[in-house]
Structure 1
Amino acid sequence: MGAALVLIALSYAATGVARLPSPPALIGLALDWQPPSRSWEYFDGAPVAAAAVPAVFEERKIGLAPEVAWRGGGRIGFADFLRETHTNALLVVQHGRLVYEHYPQGAQRATVFPSYSVAKSMLSDLVGVALAEGKIAALSDPVRKYVPGLPEKFATLTVDDLLNMRSGIRVEEKYDSAFSQIAYMYITTDLKRFLRGLDKTAFTPGQGFTYRSVDYLLLGMVLSAATGEPATRYLERKLWQPMGAAYGASWSVDSKKQGVEKSFCCVNARAVDFARYGLLHLHQGRAGDVQVLPAAWMQRPPEAGAADADFAYGRGWWLPRQPAARDGGSAPRDYTAIGIHGQYVYIDPVSDTVIVKLSDHGNEQDEALTVAAFRSIVAALPAGEP
């Protein structure tokens, strides 16, 4: 017993020096004791209060298409699609009405889900608010104006470079290794210390595009410095409460002591409130009579860079490179927030539809197929407003 206690004490000391979570949390993360949809429970979080008067969804439930587009240009049964992509929640909102809400794995409306990188889209919108308010003077501002502790070699790095993943900072997105920089960034209890250690670039800032979560970690710090308050409070005041969130949420932080938001991920909330967020984009930033987000910011973002054959990326959003068949290349294009393990807030302006899908799927798996499935769902919805 004595030896075991010594080992436990040493493990706590070692994780403290390395700025890592407690041994139980670290072991749980390493061994996947919890599914990804519950990983937020391992981390400290800053609370986000619900709206005093939540926006009420009118509910008019309808059946969805029995089949959706899937692999090899074929189709798959809708229930099989949900099962194969390990869906925990699927919500469809059309014309402002909640027309479908399903929790295939036994969750319920009050269940909390992590956003993963869907938070990047939210952070992007908060930057748009700060810009409109003059808290961020210009997207061309150097990042070191707001984060002076960033190494001087990043002197030319701008806010826009972070927003559009053009920083060139070399922190590889390798999710399959527990020893990668991105894994350490996700679990460290001192994110400011992590940033001070950055010293490598893959290209000159602004001269290329590579998807890197570290850009949005820095962007969150820019937002906090520019607004003079934690990103969590700004989210609460400028987005969460004004949009009429029915439930409180949280934003995972590195630790209670440091209190730095994992701003590249990890807003933990209910599916219906992710749907309310999507509605802001359909309604040009408005919630009822309130202009919550700048209308000009709510357009489908311009393409900053091609991530792969299926998606471009712009300002925190994934932009399908091929238009939907119905578009003919001229109608407003769909776009989506995507988080690892299959989290989506999908926006289709033409059919006035938001689809929220929250999952326990693979690391980076079936994103293009899932968007094709969403397009199948949309195509089968009633064409006009009922």
Structure 2
Amino acid sequence: MSKKTLQKTLLFIVISVSLLALLSYAATRLSRIPAPPALLALALEWEPPSGSYKFFDSSEVQIAPPPDSVDTQPLPEQLQALAPQIAWRDGQSIDFAQFLKATHTNALLVLHRGALVFESYPRGSQRDTVFPSFSLAKSMLSDLVGVALNEGKIGSLDDPVSLYLPELPARFSKLRVYDLLHMRSGIHVDERYDSVFSRIAYMYITTDLRRFVRELDTVAYTPQQGFEYRSVDYLLLGMLLSAATGESLSHYLQHKIWQPMRAQYAASWSIDSDRNQVEKGFCCVNARAIDFARYGLLHLRNGKLGERQILPAQWMQKPEATGHADDHFDYGRGWWLPRLNGSGDARDYTAIGIHGQYVYIDPVSDTVIVKLSDHGAEQDEALTVAAFRSMVAALQKQAH
């Protein structure tokens, strides 16, 4: 091949690749999904789930500025070993280190009686490592709804959703705030995580969530007639809360929870895009494990930090079960309610996010367990709660 021919060939390749890249960018823009590099990185899982937040725009959640920030004190520490054996599969026990490895644990923190008794980052993270909450954010959003109700920003859980979101398609006119909070809307957006072409996957990556909402058109049942775990309900609930308060979700989180609870680190809430600025209310508060633990402690203290009431006390009680999720859990107000020996008399409850994220609350033993992981999409939730219960039992035994 002559030098001139080679130059022409290389020029043709460069032009072709450039045109393809331009077309790809145009196609993703028209489809309202991330640009090709981010889309490719997500599809090929170039980052583990715990790093996926890096590919999305976000809105900052700041810690308290001076002079309030000087009140941010480290949690008291009384570090100790946890139970060497953990309850696990088929009624058997496994070594504690095996449990952490088997469930791909990135961070495990335990607060007991107000003190940090255990903190571990088995896979190389550190205290200042940022982790995405995934659906832990639903529980936090639920608490923010409680704040808005207490402030009168939301009049009642019986208010029609259209009062706050008039742009919602008319076919959903019967929806109440209650229906979104308890996932009883009947809106049909499949909670399927096994396909990149599912509606839930598109909802997660779209750069225009308002358009996604305008195009909702399918119902699985009439509102109030049943329960189905559907993230779309919390997308709408987040948009409703923002409309009711006149603030972004990240700003409301910052001023109603993050700064009042004296979070140690700033956080963020993933949004659809910098252009549209809609938080993903169904997921994606990005923070440090230690601050998720502080958040759990608010629930143990009935919403108080010291003498200051941060969250409404009546909202801090174990949520009522309003949906039967599966054989192991009920669901209520953004929280998972594990059963005890097949009955509903357990007092513990937990926030759960995909890939193994937990903020577990046990009021009886005064314990919070935060576990952040890169585990499977849907696996071992009931086993993990059983493991937490065995940790709690060991802590109580040591205390006596």
TM over 0.5: yes
Matched, 1:70 2:84: no
Aligned to 1:334: 348
| 1:167 matches 2:185 | yes
- SS of 1:184's equivalent in the other structure is helix
**Alignment of 1:302 onto 2:320:** yes
Deviation string, structure 1 residues 159-209 (Cα, Å, up to 9, x no partner): 000000000000000000000000000000000000000011000011100
Equivalent residue, structure 1, for 2:387? 373
* 1:151-190 equivalence runs, <5 A: 151-190=169-208
- Alpha-carbon distance between aligned partners in 2 of 1:284 and 1:302, rounded to the nearest angstrom: 16
Which of 266, 270, 277 pairs up with 2:288?
Answer: 270
**Aligned match of 1:26:** 39
State whether structure 2 residue 162 is matched by structure 1 residue 144.
yes
Alignment partner, residue 50 of structure 2: 37
Distance (Å, rounded) in 2 between the aligned partners of 1:25 and 1:341: 20
Q: Which residue in the other structure is 2:3 paired with? A: none
SS of residue in 2 equivalent to 1:6: helix
Residue 129 (structure 1) aligns with:
147
The corresponding residue for 1:102 is 120
Q: Number of residues paired by the alignment?
A: 382
Aligned-partner Cα distance in 1 for 2:115–2:47: 33
Q: Which residue among 354, 360, 369 is the counterpart of 1:355?
A: 369
Aligned to 2:11: none
Summarize deviations over 1:2-28 as a string: whole Å, max 9, x none: 111111111111000000001000001
Which secondary structure state, in structure 1, belongs to the residue aligned with residue 108 of structure 2?
strand
Supply the RMSD in Å over aligned alpha carbons: 1.4
8 Å CA contact retained: 1:351, 1:383 = no
1:329 shift after superposition: 7.6
Q: TM-score, normalised by structure 2?
A: 0.94
Q: What is the alpha-carbon distance in structure 1 between the residues aligned to residue 109 and residue 270 of structure 2?
A: 24
The AA in structure 1 aligned to 2:143 is: D
Partner of residue 6, structure 1: 19
Are 1:211 and 2:225 an aligned pair? no
In the TM superposition, residue 382 of structure 1 has moved relative to its aligned partner by: 3.8
Name the % identity: 65
Q: Distance in 1 between matches of 2:262 and 2:335?
A: 22
Residue 7 (structure 2) aligns with: none
CA contact (8 A) 1:55 1:245 kept: no
Aligned partners of 2:167 and 2:115: how far apart in 1?
Answer: 47
Residues 259, 90 of structure 1: alpha-carbon distance in 2 compared, 3 angstrom cutoff: same
Q: Give the secondary-structure state (helix, strand or coil) at the position aligned to 2:253.
A: helix
Shift of 1:385: 6.5
Listed one character per residue, the Cα deviations across residues 267-322 of structure 1 (whole Å, up to 9, x for unaligned) are 00000000000000000001122101000000000001110000000000000022
Unaligned runs of 5+ in 1: none
- CA shift for structure 1 position 56: 2.4
The answer on whether the counterparts of 1:50 and 1:245 sit within 8 Å (CA) in structure 2 is yes
For the structure 1 residues 274 and 58, does the alpha-carbon distance in structure 2 shift closer, same or farther, using more than 3 Å as the test? same
How do 1:84-95 residues align onto structure 2 when only pairs under 5 Å count?
84-95=102-113
Whichever residue aligns with residue 367 of structure 2, its letter is T
Structure 1 position 94, deviation (Å): 0.4
CA distance in 1 between partners of 2:368 and 2:53 (Å): 25
What is the aligned partner in structure 2 of residue 50 from structure 1? 63
Whether the aligned pair in 2 keeps the contact of 1:306 and 1:313 (CA below 8 Å) is: yes
**After the TM superposition, which of the residue ranges 2-11 and 368-377 deviates more from structure 2?**
2-11
Larger helix fraction of residues: 2
